[in-house]
């Protein structure tokens, strides 16, 4: 390995470490979940002040180029950050904000982008028209569904198909036809009926940028789920080390040790998939190679997070089923995010279509 390459890798590792450390200010690992519980099942479902703090830390612009006011960092950094936020169950919609920042940066929009990057407004991209898809029909009048934390949105980005291109519009939330539905984790989804007559057109064609940004959002969500399952597993290990039955800590029972070992394997496989996909994207993977890498990671994270968080509930026994105990918060979060930006089934199908010959999930 050349000294230059070694230096670059060392700098990258330090950058990722600093990203992880900075996340502790917002979502400390092992910290209490009182803030998360206080925000559940209330509008807007997150703390706008924390979203502004994320903007001040440069997280919303993490993937946007420096020329547009962003940080221009890679998916390695983005996934490390998402993992830490998942471990802390941060409800703030960082991943949808990063997606929108990528689109507005490509559109070179100087009106909405600065406020979005600063976290002063939440402006999700309303792209999805049906369940479980990563396709963007861009129908001008079709309702846009499953918009994360839409109750706190100050505006929306609307991709609209015009001929063979995907144009981008900005729609203010004031007066928008928006319906809100609660989610299992205490957040919300929105269904928006677009009114293009009231929207501002900001780009002629963002189709390629949007496809890449959706893949990056799917991978970041996989990393968030990795954080969720890691912290959930930590809770189970702590419980196994302290809970006693028949005069012995239950972690000494061989059957529970085997179950914990199986869950640790799931964590290791998921981490390998996420980190491999992030490295591939940072190395410039495009097209089918990019899609296959992302789909392998998202399919793995979606299934493993549900498996781990459900098993953690069982390892805790009766107390795990109570809402007052934190283990259930992680299961609820996994249930909501497992299908966001594509379910495991969708990503398995896409992986089989796009993976290089001979590749295995």
Which residues lie below 8 Å from residue 334, measured CB to CB, with a gap of 6+? 225, 228, 229, 232, 305, 306, 308, 309
Place of tokens 């009114």: 195
Q: What 3-state class would DSSP assign to 62?
A: coil
Domains detected in the chain: 208-354 (1.20.140.10)
Residue 252's pLDDT is: 62
230 vs 264: CA distance, rounded Å: 9
pTM of the entire predicted model: 0.94
Residue 248's pLDDT is: 79
Which residues lie below 8 Å from residue 84, measured CB to CB, with a gap of 6+? 19, 20, 23, 24, 27, 29, 227
26 vs 326: CA distance, rounded Å: 18
Angle CA 93–95–98, to nearest 5: 110
126 vs 18: CA distance, rounded Å: 32
DSSP assignment string, 243-292: -EETTEEGGGSHHHHHHHHHHHHHHHHHHHHHHHHHHHHHTT--HHHHHH
Helices 207-242 and 254-282: angle between axes, nearest 10 degrees:
160
Which two structure tokens, joined as six digits, stand for 113? 């982008």
Mean pLDDT, consecutive 10-residue stretches, the chain (361 aa), reads 55 86 82 90 97 96 96 96 96 98 96 97 98 96 97 98 96 95 97 95 97 98 98 91 74 78 97 97 96 98 98 90 92 98 98 77 52
- String of b and e for 284-311 (b: at least 16 CB within 10 Å)? ebeeebbbbbbbbbbbbbbbbbbebbeb
Which residues are 166's β-sheet partners?
161
327 vs 40: CA distance, rounded Å: 15
Q: What 3-state class would DSSP assign to 180?
A: strand
Residue/partner pairs of 16-19 with CB below 8 Å, 24 or more apart: 16/76, 16/77, 16/80, 19/73, 19/77, 19/80, 19/81, 19/84
52 burial via Cβ count (<10 Å: 0-12, 13-18, 19+): middle
Place of tokens 């100050």: 154
Which residues lie below 8 Å from residue 210, measured CB to CB, with a gap of 6+? 103, 125, 127, 136, 159, 166
Which residues lie below 8 Å from residue 239, measured CB to CB, with a gap of 6+? 315, 316
Place of tokens 């924390």: 50
């Amino acid at each position: 390995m050349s000294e230059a390459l070694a230096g670059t890798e060392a700098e990258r590792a330090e950058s990722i470490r600093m990203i992880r450390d900075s996340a502790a200010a917002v979502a400390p690992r092992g910290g209490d979940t009182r803030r998360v519980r206080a925000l559940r099942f209330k509008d807007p479902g997150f703390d706008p002040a924390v979203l502004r703090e994320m903007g001040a830390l440069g997280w919303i612009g993490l993937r946007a180029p420096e020329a547009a006011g962003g940080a221009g960092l890679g998916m390695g950094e983005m996934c490390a950050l998402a993992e830490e936020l998942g471990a802390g169950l941060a409800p703030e919609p960082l991943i949808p904000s990063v997606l929108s920042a990528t689109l507005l940066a490509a559109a070179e929009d100087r009106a909405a982008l600065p406020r979005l990057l600063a976290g002063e407004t939440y402006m999700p991209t309303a792209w999805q028209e049906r369940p479980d898809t990563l396709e963007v029909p861009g129908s001008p009048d079709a309702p846009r569904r499953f918009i994360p934390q839409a109750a706190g949105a100050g505006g929306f980005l609307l991709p609209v198909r015009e001929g063979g291109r995907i144009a981008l519009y900005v729609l203010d939330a004031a007066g928008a036809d928006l319906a809100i539905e609660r989610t299992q984790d205490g957040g919300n989804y929105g269904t928006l009926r677009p009114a293009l007559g009231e929207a501002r057109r900001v780009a002629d064609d963002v189709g390629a940028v949007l496809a890449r940004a959706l893949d990056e959002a799917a991978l970041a969500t996989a990393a968030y789920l990795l954080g969720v399952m890691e912290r959930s597993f930590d809770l189970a290990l702590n419980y196994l080390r302290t809970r006693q039955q028949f005069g012995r800590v239950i972690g000494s029972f061989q059957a529970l040790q085997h179950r914990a070992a199986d869950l640790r394997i799931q964590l290791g496989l998921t981490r390998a998939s996420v980190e491999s996909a992030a490295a591939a994207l940072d190395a410039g993977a495009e097209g089918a190679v990019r899609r296959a890498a992302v789909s392998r990671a998202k399919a793995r994270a979606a299934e493993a997070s549900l498996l781990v968080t459900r098993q953690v509930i069982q390892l805790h026994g009766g107390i795990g089923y109570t809402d007052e105990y934190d283990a259930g918060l992680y299961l609820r979060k996994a249930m909501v995010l497992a299908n966001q930006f594509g379910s495991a089934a969708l990503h398995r199908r896409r992986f089989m279509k796009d993976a290089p010959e001979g590749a295995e999930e």
